[in-house]
Structure 1
Amino acid sequence: MRQNVERRAALVDAAIEVLAAEGARGLTFRAVDKQTAVPAGTASNYFTSRDDLLTQAGGRIYERLQPDAATIATSLSGPRDRDRVAQLMRELVDRISAYRTGYLALLELRLEATRRPELRAVLTARIRADVDANVAYHLDSGLPGDATTVVTLYLAMNWLIVEHLTLPDVFPEGEMHELVTRVVDRVVPQS
């Protein structure tokens, strides 16, 4: 297998784009080669199988969805109250919405994981670790609420994002931040 790190990353990013546009059935080495604008056969030199490509795409999506260091550093400036949680949730929805193809590809991977145990194991471990990290961050930071608060916000924000990215007319763009604020007001206890 080839080891050019930049080329591998470009191929995985192309796989994410193909997943978002064509779905899991459209993800082929040929489609990834075309999306990356590399010679036919390039992707097959970097990945042992289609399952390998799916698994690596799942990991890469999470790398790209993580907030950058500056966002993390400023996330807790100011008071640790319900308003801060609402601000953080609005920023989360905006960040994920800005990487629309990544989130849509992740939805495709989740569906594909129902048929592929190896992919399911990778996604389960990754998502469980993400939820655990969010709970720990929330509790350690002194924000109001407990682990159930964080899990409830996780579930609510995920489905709001799904609606926003797949059926954007259900909740128009201009209503997104207000919806997030309302969810936080109902879920997060007043500090």
Structure 2
Amino acid sequence: MNPDRRDRLRDAAVEVLAAEGGRGLTHRAVDAAAEVPPGTAKNYFPSRDALLGAVAERCVEQYRALADQLAAAGPPSGRAGLHALLAGLLENVAGPGRSRLLACLELQAEAARKPWLSEVIDPMAAADFTMLEGAQRAAGLPVTPERAAMVTLAMHAALPHLLARGGRTLAAAGLDDPARYVRTVLETVYPSHSDETMT
């Protein structure tokens, strides 16, 4: 099978899942989004589970590409550098990362009923904990595994609200200003007035 067409179908499937949700992810919808002849998606991904698996694999690939970009940019410098990194990740939710993250949320809902799918997407969230703990250490904060996990969980918790764009919820959570939200999280977990020494 043509690998370029396969990637085109997988990219289209990510967009369909993000736009239409789980019920809207059909072979016909993917064919239309990819602008290929009817039946093409079914030839590449014969069942709905195969289609879901293809979306999950593509989302993992996109996540790894983003992680590689962040790694290439180098570790954050100090608290200000970490703040800029985390705020940038949240701002990405409204930009180029929106479709992937919406698709990931849909995949998580599907994975609650399909354990095999959880095995495919779990490495993304797990890698976040490792990556963001490393960023906190590189910034010179007094990191413990528990503190690092709290920051990562706060970032994860923000995503569904930023994607839903509910104004009152965003205001209540402080997410109407993602940069301020990140500043609050870091100040709560790592108080700048703490007696602990930052290395």
* TM-score normalised by the chain length of structure 1: 0.84
Which residue in the other structure is 2:89 paired with? 92
* TM-score normalised by the chain length of structure 2: 0.81
* Matched AA of 1:113: A
Deviation at 1:70, TM superposition (A): 5.2
Which of 175, 179, 182 aligns to 1:180? It is 182
User: Equivalents in 2 of 1:142, 1:91: separation in Å?
Assistant: 16
Which residue in the other structure is 2:23 paired with? 25
Structure 2 portions without partners, runs of 5+: 193-197
Cα 1:75/1:168, change in 2 over 3 Å:
farther
Equivalent runs, 1:1-191 vs 2, <5 Å: 2=1, 4-65=2-63, 66-67=65-66, 69=68, 71-76=70-75, 79=77, 81-98=78-95, 99-135=97-133, 137-138=134-135, 141=138, 143-144=140-141, 145-169=143-167, 170-171=169-170, 175-188=177-190, 190=192, 191=198
User: Equivalents in 2 of 1:106, 1:133: separation in Å?
Assistant: 18
| 4+ residue runs over 6 A deviation | none
User: Equivalents in 2 of 1:139, 1:171: separation in Å?
Assistant: 25
Structure 1 portions without partners, runs of 5+: none
Percent identity between matched residues is: 34
Deviation at 1:75, TM superposition (A): 4.0
Between 1:164-173 and 1:177-186, the stretch displaced more is 164-173
Q: Do 1:82 and 1:188's aligned partners in 2 also have CA atoms closer than 8 Å?
A: no
* Matched AA of 2:81: R
Cα 1:182/1:61, change in 2 over 3 Å:
same
User: Equivalents in 1 of 2:80, 2:137: separation in Å?
Assistant: 18
Q: How many aligned residue pairs are there?
A: 186
Cα 1:130/1:68, change in 2 over 3 Å:
closer
* Matched AA of 2:186: V
CA RMSD, 1 decimal: 2.3
Deviation at 1:185, TM superposition (A): 1.2
User: Equivalents in 1 of 2:129, 2:67: separation in Å?
Assistant: 18
